[in-house]
Structure 1
Amino acid sequence: MNKTININLANLFFHIDEEAYSKLQRYLEAIKRSFANTSGSDEIIADIEARIAELFHEKMENERQVITQKEVDEVIGIMGQPEDYMVDEDIFEDQPKSAQKASKVKKLFRDIDNKYIGGVSSGLGHYFGIDALWVRLLWILLTIFSWGGFIFIYALLWILIPEAVTTAQKLDMRGETVNISNIEKKVKEGFDDVAEKVKNVDYEKVGNRVKSGSKSFFNTIADIIMFVFKVIGKFIGIILIITGAAGIVSLFIGLFTVGILDIIHIPGIEYYYLVNSTNTPVWLASLLAFFAIAIPFFFLLYLGLKILVNNLKSIGNIAKFSLLGLWLISIILLSVFGIRQAAAHAYSGNVTVEKVLSFQKPDQLIKINLKSSNWEENGNNIGINGIILDYTENGEEVLVFDDLRLYIKKSKDSLAHIEIRKSANGSSFKNATETADKVNYSYIIKDNTLLLDDFLTTAKENKYRDQEVRINLAIPMGTKVQFENFPKRCWMLRTNNNQDMDGCEITNYLWTMSKNGELLCQDCPESESSSKKDSGKGKIIINEDGVDISIKDGEDSFKMKIGKQGVQINTNENKERNVTADTVQ
């Protein structure tokens, strides 16, 4: 059982056992003697004690841990023996300069002595060997062209890169060699904490100053392999940093842009409100999306910095778990909003209105005309299935749709009928039906002309719910019909006809409703109006005069004509039989 002593070393409290304390005390007294006649010895001793305290603190797993002789020996191995500090710099005056300096790798720190804001630019300048002025100019340009996005990157580097406080850290930042000559030089120049550079004094031990320049073949191969892996690792780190930084800056610009558009009410932002079923503010949705995507990019950036910067300061477990929690909350809320958004279109409902059309002269030609509108010219087209946002004469905001279809069918009686079916989606069947009922569509009859709107409308608060209108127009058999003013909306016309024409071709001719519900063309050209089959042995002609059938097979022939005069049949025996309409009936 060892006795434990409590000590205060450089304002840090430690528990140390008695044997370790005795060895540490002898070590510190030896160091004091080695610097007894050196100017600034008090500052050097204070910095050495501070460095020893830092090393002890790094080796402790918890505050209750006791410092043993093992930890003291490890610290002494790092700091060096007292005799290393007793060597005067004059001893090395005759040594070649290459023997006095050891190659050191620069470490990334923030230079707080030459800072304007956080010392990030100065630290990067030291690390890359360029003037800090150029780094600051680059920050300014990147910030301007990224709409301020690189301010966020600067803040991250400010948090993650440690500042060079001690003399050893400042020497590491500049890549200067730590040796006895530099120690005395810095002390004479007035650096108060110059002795901190002795933390790496084991690199400069006198016995190791002249090293053998020869290495074994296998050690050289191993060094080359390790160098290649380090280069690959650094390259991966650079890729991760670029990816993470680019992602964060892009998301920052996107968030900033969406916020500005929402504040000044740019028309395009209305698209979000028209499709948003959850009524989530655009700023909240943008913020959640930013956190959900930017946090993974941040950890990519952090991982890249970890690979490139050996002494990168950890953001701490609290920050890590806070970011993880924020990311999970954002993902969960976005998932909830997405589910609610999808649920708003889960059901489809429709409302049907059927009326009888009263034409002044139903036995004469009926014209079907589309009323031309100026919604497209006056509206704000927001590019979602042809929807237009506009205002009524009363100043009310309405959504204008062009999802309209017109079907021509045969009436079941002698009257013309119109059936208007309005449909929409909703979160329930009831909600969908109510939304469909709020769709507005109108038509008028003027003389023998049916004027149909080529659009449908609904109030803006009803939002976009796949609203559409289907019109079924039923006309009696034998009714002549003609389509006018369909140049822009001819695709909406659907009907069966004896010419297999599409909606746009149908509008060019006059038609009659047949018994089987098919439109018969009345003025189509012969090549188009006739259903003709002629193989050299016969022909069949169907037009407005009736049906004319002629068949010839060798010496035998057969002709039949059906028209207003009845049915006429003629064979090669020159026998003709007339069948009147009364006879057919």
Structure 2
Amino acid sequence: MNKTVNMNLGGFFFHIDEDAYQKLNRYFDAIRGSLSMEGRDEIMNDIESRVSELFSEKLTNSKQVLSLKDVDDVITIMGQPEDYKIEEDNNTKKYDYSTTPKSKKLYRDKEKSIVGGVCTGLSHYFGIDAVWIRILFIVSPFITAGTSLLIYVILWAVTPEAVTTSEKLEMMGEPITVSNIEKKVKEELDNLSERFRGADYNKMSENVKTGAQRVGNTLGDVIISIMKVFAKFIGAMMIFIGSVTIISLLISLITLGSTSNLSMPWLDYFNTFNYTNTSMWLIAFMFLLAIGIPFFFIIILGLKILVTNLKSIGNIAKYTLLALWILSVGVLITLGVRQASEVAFENKVVTKEIINIKPTDTLEIKFKNNEYFSKNSYHNEDFEFVQDSLGRDVIYSNDINFEVLPTDERLPYIQVEKESNGKSFSEAKQRASNIEYKFKIEGNKIILDNYFLTEVKNKFRGQEVMIYLYLPKGTYFKTDESVEDFDSSDNDFFNLHYSSDNYTYKVEDKKVKCLNCPPDEDEWDDVENDGSHTVIIDENGVKVKSDTVISNSKEIKELKISEDGIIIKTK
């Protein structure tokens, strides 16, 4: 059993045997002692980073602790300090004991780059002069329609930059050993020292300062010019939008003011929905102030952007317009609250009438139109101004809903509910009672009006008529084709068939059954799954064999789904 310690090496965390850790520590101390003071810390950082990479390659899912053998392997790759020496004279001799193959990796070389270092990185990788690669990227866009430029951008994005000494050695294809790391670091330090020794610092600082000022001033001038053009464009757009809006509001105000005292059809519609009885001209004027004043200030702001020396309109005008705007907004909010309060409550008036028919009789249901208002029963208007035969101005509407429901009562009955909205329950009920709707029962026939009326003074506040026909179990009935336009029954109970008005329906326990509907219409209502099913899938398609019994007492023998369609065979 070996004792392990935790180690942070090159920014990575490792578990390592204590003996291996001590040997690695001695190895680093020996390397540090063999290095000169110049660049020692940078060399050691690069060496530790490379050792960390080698250790990471040795760890697997089944192995998480570094052993003494792992340290020996890394030392063999990196080399011992006494196995090499970099001389300071021209007879530099290096002994390379590395067993690492000299394979290159693709990096971007920013030190010798012009743009992104892609061409210099490719030159190191393929051993080609960077000049030829740059020429290739310059010429090829004219041949490849810009594809090579896209390739350059992609390589720039995905290729890492050679930053550390180890990465620079990998880029050049040199083994990453202690000697090569030390040599590379010293070369970079010598180059940097040479540049500083030969530099004219006064001239350099002056050039840097002048160049920076020139670039900064030029860039600033370009940005300011672009912003000025953009600001002028924004100012022109503000003037245009503001002017169009105010002109439109003025035209609307003049139009409404000139027609408010005339008898116009659209004025009747407006007044019907104008629950506050406020003058249309006043409402339009309030909208002009509430919307026009902000857009007026937008025009002023746009003019100031275009004309720098534009004079102000003065504080008196500003505060006056602000006060008018606050007043108009307050008036509109008050009118909106009053408008909403007029339809805040809903109430209804209910009329119920028993239908005296024999259990063996068939009840007939029909909707009838008034030929004075409409020449056919299909006329459908939710809201319309008309005059009745007495010359009264009334609101005409076909907003009528018919629904068939079950009941436990002995006899069927019809219930008519007239609904409306109002600012209180009592007012809503009063408006509902003012709805004029008629129906009559003649023997086994129910004749329903397909419209209702209400006087214009009642205004339109969501008036509608709901007709509920309650039928006990065993009742037979027929529907006229006119019922189709008003039926809103739940299909789970009563599914009206539109293809004919000669169908007879019977009320059963949980559902209304059509007695003489075609099978293709009736099967959705009355299929009972009492038998077994067999599904066969082969090269001929999909076959479903079933013992299901449908409503017409026929048994499905075979159902086949193929490219020709759906084929149903019955016994």
Tell me the residue number matched to 1:501. Answer: 495
Question: Of residues 264, 267, 283 in structure 2, which corresponds to 1:266?
Answer: 264
Tell me the residue number matched to 1:296. Answer: 294
2:295 aligned with 1:277 = no
2:490 aligned with 1:492 = no
Q: Which whole-Å CA distance do the structure 2 matches of 1:246 and 1:537 have between them?
A: 71
2:513 aligned with 1:520 = yes
2:226 aligned with 1:232 = no
TM-score by length of 1: 0.50
Q: Which whole-Å CA distance do the structure 1 matches of 2:254 and 2:408 have between them?
A: 62
Contact 2:289 2:324 in 1 (8 A): yes
Which amino acid is 1:521 matched to? C
Q: How does 1:85-164 map to 2 (within 5 A)?
A: none
In structure 2, the CA distance between the partners of 1:442 and 1:377, relative to structure 1 (3 Å rule), is closer
Q: Displacement, 1:389?
A: 1.2
Q: Which whole-Å CA distance do the structure 2 matches of 1:541 and 1:224 have between them?
A: 83
In structure 2, the CA distance between the partners of 1:496 and 1:508, relative to structure 1 (3 Å rule), is farther
In structure 2, the CA distance between the partners of 1:496 and 1:247, relative to structure 1 (3 Å rule), is closer
Question: Of residues 343, 357, 363 in structure 1, which corresponds to 2:360?
Answer: 363
SS of residue paired to 1:492 = coil
Q: Which whole-Å CA distance do the structure 2 matches of 1:248 and 1:537 have between them?
A: 73
Q: Which whole-Å CA distance do the structure 1 matches of 2:372 and 2:287 have between them?
A: 35
Which amino acid is 2:459 matched to? K
Q: Deviations over 1:400-451 (max 9, x none)?
A: 2222111223343332211111111111122212221211211012342211
Q: How does 1:1-40 map to 2 (within 5 A)?
A: none
2:371 aligned with 1:338 = no
Which amino acid is 1:462 matched to? N
Question: Of residues 386, 389, 398 in structure 2, which corresponds to 1:390?
Answer: 386
In structure 2, the CA distance between the partners of 1:501 and 1:455, relative to structure 1 (3 Å rule), is same
Contact 1:479 1:512 in 2 (8 A): yes
Q: Deviations over 1:252-286 (max 9, x none)?
A: 22223333443433212322211111111111111
Question: Of residues 505, 509, 528 in structure 2, which corresponds to 1:511?
Answer: 505
Q: Displacement, 1:295?
A: 0.6
**Structure 2: any 5+ residue segments left out of the alignment?**
1-212, 533-544, 557-571
SS of residue paired to 1:370 = strand
Q: How does 1:183-582 map to 2 (within 5 A)?
A: 226-358=224-356, 363-374=360-371, 386-486=382-482, 489-494=484-489, 501-502=495-496, 504=498, 507=501, 509-514=503-508, 516=509, 518-527=511-520, 528=522, 531=527, 533=529, 535=532, 538-540=547-549, 542=551
In structure 2, the CA distance between the partners of 1:355 and 1:255, relative to structure 1 (3 Å rule), is same
Contact 2:481 2:500 in 1 (8 A): no
In structure 2, the CA distance between the partners of 1:219 and 1:512, relative to structure 1 (3 Å rule), is closer
Tell me the residue number matched to 2:4. Answer: none
SS of residue paired to 2:482 = coil
Contact 1:497 1:521 in 2 (8 A): no
Contact 1:370 1:452 in 2 (8 A): yes
SS of residue paired to 2:348 = strand
Q: Which whole-Å CA distance do the structure 2 matches of 1:517 and 1:506 have between them?
A: 24
SS of residue paired to 2:263 = coil
Contact 2:402 2:486 in 1 (8 A): no
In structure 2, the CA distance between the partners of 1:507 and 1:321, relative to structure 1 (3 Å rule), is farther
Which amino acid is 2:487 matched to? M
TM-score by length of 2: 0.51
In structure 2, the CA distance between the partners of 1:274 and 1:508, relative to structure 1 (3 Å rule), is farther
Which amino acid is 2:432 matched to? A
Q: Displacement, 1:376?
A: 6.7
Q: Displacement, 1:484?
A: 0.7
Contact 2:362 2:476 in 1 (8 A): yes
In structure 2, the CA distance between the partners of 1:252 and 1:412, relative to structure 1 (3 Å rule), is same
SS of residue paired to 2:479 = strand
In structure 2, the CA distance between the partners of 1:525 and 1:225, relative to structure 1 (3 Å rule), is closer
Contact 1:409 1:517 in 2 (8 A): no
Tell me the residue number matched to 2:53. Answer: none
Which amino acid is 2:361 matched to? Q
Which amino acid is 1:305 matched to? L
User: What's the Cα RMSD here?
Assistant: 3.4
In structure 2, the CA distance between the partners of 1:233 and 1:375, relative to structure 1 (3 Å rule), is farther
In structure 2, the CA distance between the partners of 1:506 and 1:326, relative to structure 1 (3 Å rule), is farther
